[in-house]
Amino acid sequence: KAGVTQTPRYLIKTRGQQVTLSCSPISGHRSVSWYQQTPGQGLQFLFEYFSETQRNKGNFPGRFSGRQFSNSRSEMNVSTLELGDSALYLCASSWDPDRGHSETQYFGPGTRLLVL
Amino acid sequence: EDQVTQSPEALRLQEGESSSLNCSYTVSGLRGLFWYRQDPGKGPEFLFTLYSAGEEKEKERLKATLTKKESFLHITAPKPEDSATYLCAPLENTGKLIFGQGTTLQVKP
């Protein structure tokens, strides 16, 4: 099976702009989670989507939002970009976190966002 | 508040020199604990899942163990290709992974 794919892989934006990142999960996986990784804070959970519904949310401002489509593909949007949003954004997919031991999250390669 | 601490932050080993990485955690409603490996510029790669205290999992030169408050990743006779950052991540009952800061391992030939 193909792994999790993320597009684009690299992105440069300026402060105040907005950005949309895309994630295609492993075929058959229904849950998609997003994480932000920075050198100072490490990997931090942003949100999780399952069946087009946000099921879980981390401690990030409302500028960070996401959605999931009927084919489980997910997008993440950051509005009014700030310098501190520069990070590696990772997407992870799993089959179904509610079904016992099928909750292993498999990560994509990430999108490297640089805000100038 | 959920907390995950990994130690040491960095570890340098000679090829063949065995060692252990530690992950201590305080997580409400723990559903499991995951270990990942991350190479520079890449996403984390899944290694192990542990669900119960006393459980052990092995893969090549790696063995992960779990107690009620800690997990260990033992590396036996490491090779240079084992150099990476190893991340520990307890899974909350909400389905959220809480990541530690990682241990960066360098294995010299």
Q: Does the distance separating the beta carbons of B51 and A105 come in below 8 Å?
A: no
Amino acid B29: pLDDT: 85
Per CB-CB distance under 8 Å, the chain A contacts of B1 are: none
Start-to-end Cα distance in chain B: 41
What does DSSP assign to residue A26?
P
Q: Does the distance separating the beta carbons of A42 and B43 come in below 8 Å?
A: no
Amino acid A99: pLDDT: 56
Amino acid A21: pLDDT: 98
Q: Does the distance separating the beta carbons of A31 and B99 come in below 8 Å?
A: no
Write the DSSP string, B18-69.
-EEEEEEEE-TT--EEEEEEE-TTS--EEEEEE-STT-EEEETTEEEEE-SS
Question: CB distance from B90 to chain A under 8 Å?
Answer: no
pLDDT at A97 over 60: no
Contacts across the A-B interface (CB distance below 8 Å):
58
CA–CA separation, A31 vs B85, rounded Å? Answer: 25
Start-to-end Cα distance in chain A: 37
pLDDT at A35 over 60: yes
**Nearest CA-CA partner of B19 in B68, B70, B69, B83:** B83
Residues B5/B99, Cβ–Cβ less than 8 Å: no
Amino acid A76: pLDDT: 98
Amino acid A75: pLDDT: 98
Amino acid B7: pLDDT: 97
CA–CA separation, A93 vs B107, rounded Å? Answer: 31
- What residue has token string 């520079």? B40
Amino acid A54: pLDDT: 95
Amino acid B30: pLDDT: 87
- What residues contact B62, with CB distance under 8 A and at least 6 apart? B47, B48, B73, B74, B75, B76, B82
Amino acid A100: pLDDT: 59
**Nearest CA-CA partner of B8 in B27, B22, B18:** B22
Nearest chain A residue to B90, by CA: A104
- What residues contact B65, with CB distance under 8 A and at least 6 apart? B50, B55, B56, B71, B72, B74
Q: Which of A31, A101, A109 sits opposite B42 (nearest CB)?
A: A109
- Phi, psi of B27, deg, nearest 5: -135, 130
Mean pLDDT per 10-residue section of chain B, whose length is 109 residues: 94 98 92 95 95 95 95 98 97 88 97
Amino acid A73: pLDDT: 97
Amino acid B92: pLDDT: 87
Amino acid A109: pLDDT: 97
